Amino acid sequence: MSDSFTREVEGLSRIRHPNLVCLFGCCVEGGEQYLVYEYCSNGNLAQHLLSNTPRDSDLPWDRRVRILRDCALALRFLHGHPDGVTVHRDIKLTNILLTEKMEPKLSDFGLAKMLGMEESKVFTDVRGTIGYMDPEYMSNAKLTCASDVYSFGIVALQLLSGRKVIDLDLDARDQLTRKVGFAFQLFKGLKTQL
């Protein structure tokens, strides 16, 4: 096993939270490295929210709010872990898996960066998914917990609006304008319902 793979497995094996997918083990077979995680039978959040045949009955309003709350608790755990901060770097709908009871589990720690106990930021290669990445991180490669919070905000915007807010045909500035517009419309709609 490579040193980086071993470090990743050791780091992930210490992280346990009800809303993080559980790492059961690892193996090397034919030169390939494999991680074995718990199975989440209801697929990912994107399949329920953005598919061509939406299953809105699967995601009533109260369930959407619980999913957001539970994901926020998982992020708070990662960002405040006593052994050091873990920045996920790829928070998105497809990386939020759903259990049989529709409970969310944050998954795919392949891009996660574990910071030392004294570190609050690190300069690193920019990695993640376009549309979910923090514009500041994209422009200066400074990775902080705020990068995950931005990505989580995009997830929240999509989950609460029920609409895809990322359009890869737009440049970064237009994407940001579109996201702000969606957020404003959503807020305005919620305000009138109160």
Q: How many CA atoms lie within 13 A of 43 on its CB side?
A: 10
- Residues 37, 39, 45, 50, CA torsion sign: positive
> Of 96-110, 131-145, 147-161, where does mean pLDDT reach its minimum?
131-145
Q: Which DSSP letter does residue 51 get?
A: S
Supply 14's token pair: 């210490």
More confident residue, 120 or 177: 177
Q: Which residues are catalytic?
A: 90
At 9, is the pLDDT very low, low, confident or very high (cuts 50, 70, 90)?
A: confident
pLDDT over threshold 90, residue 99: yes
For the whole model, what pTM was predicted? 0.77
Supply 174's token pair: 């237009």
DSSP strand E in the chain: where? 23-29, 32-37, 86-87, 96-98, 104-106, 113-114, 121-123, 142-144
Supply 98's token pair: 């759903």
- Residues 17, 18, 19, 25, CA torsion sign: positive
pLDDT over threshold 60, residue 149: yes
Label residue 85 exposed, middle or buried (CB < 10 Å: 0-12, 13-18, 19+).
buried
Give SS3 for 75. helix
Instruction: Tell me the average pLDDT across 49-75.
Output: 84
- What residues have CB less than 8 Å from 7, skipping those under 6 apart? none
> Mean of the per-residue pLDDT values for the chain?
79
In the chain, the domains with their CATH numbers are 40-193 (1.10.510.10)
pLDDT over threshold 50, residue 53: yes
pLDDT digits (tens, 9 = 90+) for 84-93: 788 888 899 9
Do residues 37 and 21 make contact, with C-beta atoms less than 8 angstroms apart?
yes
pLDDT at 175: 60
Return d(Cα 163, Cα 74) in angstroms, integer.
24
